[in-house]
Amino acid sequence: MKRRLYTLLISFLLSFPAVLSVYASTPADSTKVTGNDIVQRAMKYIGVPYRSGRMNPKVGFDCSGFTSYVFKKENILLTHSSRSQFTQGIQINDCKELHKGDLVFFSGSRNSSRIGHVGIVTEVNHQTGSFSFIHASRTGVCVSSSTEAYYQKRYVGACRVLAV
């Protein structure tokens, strides 16, 4: 009977990946992870080169490998796919409501809304909704702005995986 209840509980939790990734993967004795914690951790990797399919600072990162690596270092599990990371959190519809540590998503091309890139919010202008974000770009890990034409045209949405 206990085994059946345990199996049902695990199945239930797995059906809510955002809840599982934020709460179940965080050790019970750890302090609450903040957006500042995530951003501080991410900034340590500025300049690490871009490497497709990688998530290791010694070798390099791709965009989702970078975000999953940074969050994993704070005991929060994210998948290694920008498209699936978009479904792991609570959707944020207004950029003025972004916080440090939120994930922001961009399409792979101007003509598509299909997610192909992800970054971590580092700063937000709550009056305009513009934001800065750290990400693994083709030139390596760097900070960019949502006001840059390239990213402005490709912005798809944002989600929050941290409790606020």
CA distance 120 to 69: 12
Q: What are phi and psi of 65, to 5 degrees?
A: -65, -40
Host domain of residue 6: 2-160
Please identify which of the residues 80, 135, 142, 159 carries the catalytic annotation.
Answer: 135
Per-residue pLDDT of the chain in tens (164 residues, 90 and over written 9): 433 333 333 344 444 444 444 433 433 333 499 999 999 999 999 999 999 999 999 999 999 999 999 999 999 999 999 999 999 999 999 999 999 999 999 998 878 889 999 999 999 999 999 999 999 999 999 999 999 999 999 999 999 999 87
pLDDT at 125: 97
63 is catalytic: yes
Q: How many domains does the chain have?
A: 1
Partner residues linked to 38 by β-bridges: none
Q: Can you give the pLDDT at residue 83?
A: 96
Q: Is 135 tagged catalytic?
A: yes
Concatenating the DSSP letter of every residue in 95-143 gives GGG--TT-EEEEESSTT--SEEEEEEEEEE-TTT--EEEEEEETTEEEE
> Cα Rg for the chain, rounded, in angstroms?
16
Q: What is the CATH number of the domain that holds 75?
A: 3.90.1720.10
In three-state secondary structure terms, 91 is strand
How high is the pLDDT of residue 24?
A: 37
Residues 131/145, Cβ–Cβ less than 8 Å: yes
pLDDT at residue 126, as a whole number: 95
- Assess whether 117 carries a catalytic annotation: yes
